[in-house]
Amino acid sequence: MSSSAQVTAAIIIGIGTLLYLLYRFLLPKPIPGIPYDEASIHRLLGDVPDLVAWQNVHQEPWGCMVKKFKDLDSPIIQIFGRVGGNPWVVIADAREANDIMTRRSADFDRSRFFGELVNAIMPRFHTKLMTNDEWRAHRALLKDTMSPAFLNSTSGPGLHEAFSQVMELWRAKMALANDHPIDVEQDIMYANLDALWAAAFGKTAGAVETQFKNVAEISPGPDGVFRTPNAEIPFEAKAVPILAESMAITAKSPLGGLHHKFAILFYPSLRAAMKAKETLLRRQINDAAQRIRSSDGAVQSATDFIISSEMRAAEKEGRPADIHSPVIYDELYGYLMAGHDTGATISDWGVNFLMRNPKVQDTLRSSIQTAFPNYPPDEAPTAKAIATTSLPYLDAFIEEALRLGQVAGVHVRETIRDTQILGHMVPAGTNVFMFLIGQSIQLPPIDVPYTLRSKTSQDSYSQFPDLNPQDIMEFKPERWLNDDGTYNPNAGPSLSFGTGLRGCFGKKLGLLELRMFFFLLVWNFEVLSPIGEQGPLSRKQRLGLKPRTTYVRFRDLRK
């Protein structure tokens, strides 16, 4: 062999060796002792092919995880979701999830994985920050907007107006559909967008009102469901769901947040949406500042509140008010974006649960009619009355819809030091996914020996009972009621909004949003299922986990 041939062969062998070593380096490295799918550690993509295959068939990936828990017969497993990355630890045990979020702040903090989801859109939004003084300062900006007084007097009327409008839209559509089912998913999204817009800025975006323009064009599709062409809404409003849905890029792409940042910079639709975001916030903040300077300072929205607070603080400290700070922009947009999508998704689930459980619907309607007797047919209780009246069955219905609907599918925390979960050592820097749609919350639990639980979990064992495995898959609001009929949020694991220090900041607003929507829905209509046999209630993955369809027939109760 010539010397040049020898050199070429050596180079080829060297490159091949380096590629093989790189391949071995990038293969998944499991955490010792925690169960995993054996096939996944022999693939560069780990569990990703399984999740993608499930997504392609079922329109969501989470059922694949439920299957892995079952196949491995363990409430704690590890998943390999990023090439060359650390494994993700996933648990399907509500009691341990509650303990991690509530009592183990020395071991866990907000996950940087979650921060990647919002970083390209709202890099200063408090939900992406680790728990520190910066996070506390950001969260304090809107803290009082979650007080009962603010919610009932300021946010509530806007929610009431938005949801009352969508009831009238459905009356108009129902009159033309002749008892055929109508597709209400987009209407629900617009109504929730209007509701949060009103809470944030003092009046709705006009998204629902715009849809009246096309009602006369309602027509049946091949499936017999009547649909209306969507009327174009203002782009500033349309930008909110565009940007919200773009966060799925981070979750799905092997490049994670880097791919999302690239998309925000170079995809025309996302660049336009980001520009609309900045224009909207600048105008709304300027309008709020002008109102506050020219009037008695009455607060009409969350924007008014945060700008008024900044102006008072600046005056007290002898400095110019920084009303256009990036922090204020991101906190306000986060308030708007997070609330509209979660509210719309749970509203979709709740409508489906009402259709499929007519006895529950009858009980719910009877309970609110008992609380509000003798109202004229064309009149509904006020926002304040709905917000402040004791309605335990409605609260129980919402809790059960949250349990079986589950917008996010998981909560995520990150270990900040080596720790143990269910008897297994988990190293610092590990993302821990706490599953919400599978075993122990929606399906019978996988047995966990008491001695494997953390000490804090053992000490708090009596905080709430385990759900009854015999009826855990049933929609049963009564499980959240005491014997005397009062609402008991501790009757089972209540984790939809998270819990503990890093639980959802907007939980109170979200619950008011749902209370207002479902009250007005069952007050105005009997919610009927499409004619014919119903199949199983399946999911689809969008930003959150939605029911695959929301086709409804209505019977008007307020004529």
Distance of alpha carbon 357 from the chain centroid:
24
Q: What is the 3-state secondary structure (H, E, C) of 420-451?
A: EECCEEECCCCEEEEECCCECCCECCCCCCHH
Is 504 annotated to bind a ligand? Reply is: yes
Give CA–CA dist 219/226, Å, rounded: 5
Give CA–CA dist 229/223, Å, rounded: 16
Q: What is the length of the chain?
A: 559
Give CA–CA dist 249/262, Å, rounded: 10
Q: Which helix (H) or strand (E) covers residue 39, if one does?
A: none
Tell me the CB-side half-sphere exposure of residue 361, using CA atoms within 13 A: 21
Asked if 54 and 61 touch (Cβ cutoff 8 Å), the reply is: yes
Given CA atoms 429, 431, 432, 434 in this order, what sign does their dihedral have? positive
Give CA–CA dist 479/4, Å, rounded: 80
Q: Helix crossing, 358-371 with 507-524: angle to 10°?
A: 100
Give CA–CA dist 553/557, Å, rounded: 13
Give CA–CA dist 331/126, Å, rounded: 7
Tell me the residue type at 448.
Answer: V
Give CA–CA dist 366/368, Å, rounded: 6
Helices (H), 178-256: 185-201, 207-211, 235-246, 248-252
Q: 220 in helix, strand or coil? A: strand
Query: Across-strand partners of 539?
Result: 547
Residue among 446, 120, 69 at smallest CA distance from 255: 120
Residues at the binding site for heme are 504
Residues at the binding site are 504
